[in-house]
């Protein structure tokens, strides 16, 4: 069974980078560009892991994570936050939103692969 990963980032370059690293590692990847698409694609795609940028239009990563956690199929699915910086309070904020963990941009291929492998 191929492992499915949903990635969400409002920038095309961010999605392309994540996709290329993950697909070269053998994962099946589906993209979303905002929180609304995250919910639509997650229910259709049923990913094993979700990676969400915190800053997205319509509703951001935290709101999307909260909404995903309310769906029984995603109560235990690992959800990783992508953050541009690590200001005070972010670890607590992402934990409260239901994220499993977070990665700080820029994300190198080795760090992304290590994070994904540790959660699956």
Span 75-79, average pLDDT: 94
Domain membership of residue 14 as a residue range: 4-119
CA dihedral sign of residues 95, 114, 108, 52? negative
Q: What's the pLDDT score for residue 46?
A: 93
Kindly give the interhelix angle for 90-97 and 61-69, rounded to the nearest 10 degrees: 30
CATH code of the domain in which 52 resides: 3.40.50.2300
pLDDT band at residue 3, thresholds of 50, 70 and 90? very high
Q: What's the pLDDT score for residue 58?
A: 81
Q: How many domains does the chain have?
A: 1
CA dihedral sign of residues 34, 36, 37, 38? positive
Tell whether the model's pLDDT for residue 107 goes beyond 90. Answer: no
Tell whether the model's pLDDT for residue 92 goes beyond 70. Answer: yes
CA distance 64 to 20: 23
């Amino acid at each position: 069974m191929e492992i499915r990963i949903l990635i969400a980032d409002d920038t095309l370059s961010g999605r392309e980078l994540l996709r290329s690293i993950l697909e070269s590692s053998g994962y099946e990847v589906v993209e979303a560009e905002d929180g609304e698409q995250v919910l639509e694609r997650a229910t259709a795609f049923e990913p094993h892991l979700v990676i969400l940028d915190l800053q997205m239009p319509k509703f951001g990563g935290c709101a999307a994570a909260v909404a995903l956690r309310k769906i029984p199929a995603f109560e235990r699915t690992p959800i990783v936050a992508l953050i541009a910086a690590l200001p005070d309070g972010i670890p607590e904020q992402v934990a409260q939103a239901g994220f499993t963990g977070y990665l700080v941009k820029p994300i190198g291929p080795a760090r992304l692969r290590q994070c994904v492998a540790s959660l699956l």
